[in-house]
Amino acid sequence: ELKFAEHIKGKHAVLFFYPLDFTFVCPSELIAFDHRLEDFTARGVQVVGCSIDSHFTHLAWKNTPVNNGGIGQVKYPLVADINHSICKAYDVETAGGVAFRGSFLIDKAGVVRHQVVNDLPLGRDIDEMLRMVDALQFTEEHGEVCPAGWKKGKAGMKASTAGVAAYLAGHAREL
pTM: 0.95
Does some domain include residue 139? no
Q: What angle do CA 8, 13, 50 make, to 5 degrees?
A: 90
C-alpha pair distances (Å), 48 with each of 16, 38, 75, 160 = 6, 14, 10, 36
Angle between helices 126-142 and 26-35 (to 10 degrees): 50
Does some domain include residue 18? yes
What is the DSSP secondary-structure string of 19-69?
A: S-TTSSSHHHHHHHHHHTHHHHHHTTEEEEEEESS-HHHHHHHHTS-GGGT
Does some domain include residue 37? yes
Does some domain include residue 8? yes
Structural domain count, the chain: 1
Domain that holds residue 46: 4-123
b/e code 62-95 from CB counts within 10 Å (16+ = b): eebeeeeebbbebebbbbbbeeeebbeebebbee
Does some domain include residue 93? yes
Judged against a pLDDT cut of 90, whether residue 25 lies above it is answered with: yes
CATH code, 84: 3.40.30.10
Does some domain include residue 51? yes
Q: Which residues contact 9 (CB under 8 A, 6 or more apart)?
A: 110
Does some domain include residue 175? no
Judged against a pLDDT cut of 90, whether residue 142 lies above it is answered with: yes
Does some domain include residue 141? no
- pLDDT tens digits along 46-100: 999 999 999 999 999 999 999 999 999 999 999 999 999 999 999 999 999 999 9
- Which residues are identified as catalytic? 26
